[in-house]
Amino acid sequence: MKSIKALVFDAYGTLFDVGSLSDGAERVFPGKGLGVSNGWRAKQLEYTWLRSLMHRYEDFWKITGDALIATCAAMKLTLDAKRQRNLMEMYLKLPLFGEAKRALEKLSSVPLAILSNGSPMMLEEMVRNAGVERMFRHVISVDEVKTYKPSAAAYELAVTKIGVEKEEIGFVSSNFFDVAGAKAFGFRTYWVNRSGRTADELGVSPDRIFRLLSDLLE
């Protein structure tokens, strides 16, 4: 870590608990909350990859809405305007993981940034609602390059914004595809593997694996 001049964090699933959506989805669709939450997240990621490959970019707010519609249609759930609005607004108020705020405070001796697929509006709302906007020197959205992680163009944004060499950036994510993309790009990578998942076979390995964000402090 001595050679690291900046730490860049993924947002969804790394700092902010996407899994918390299952509680809100359960209130909207009793007995189906976990299925809706898991399906929604999977479809959301799938759409980012497909749209990047097709060069048919839509911002993350639009993709998130489309993924919700597709998930509910597949589960034969009625998604009226009110339910859709309530569920979408939950994405703007995702809670931080329990250890995240303390970890960020302790790591503040180096510049901290977020690099996320989220649209600028989504990130601004979410970071402000969590009360951590002053902890980050940069909150970077891939919307600037109109393509999604794990595209190299997305990771290049962090290099440009922060102004250090890519080898001097430590990238932190709980999503293995994101870690793999960042490692292939040239970042030092730290995988926060909360659930003890097996690494995907993508030909790269993270520099370190942690269970919690607070483990970075060691």
Q: Which amino acids are annotated catalytic?
A: 10
Contact 156, 121 (CB under 8 A): no
Strands 112-116 and 6-9, sheet pairing:
parallel
185-195 b/e (C-beta count within 10 Å ≥ 16 → b): bbbbbbbbbbe
* 3-state class percentages of the chain: helix first, strand second, coil last, to nearest 5: 50, 15, 35
Cα 28-17-147 angle, rounded to 5 deg? 100
For residue 31, what are its two tokens?
Answer: 């007995």
How far is residue 136's CA from residue 34's CA, in Å, rounded to a whole number?
32
Q: Give the dihedral sign, CA 21/200/176/88.
A: negative
Cα separation, 175 vs 13, in Å, equals 7
Q: What is the DSSP letter of 97?
A: P
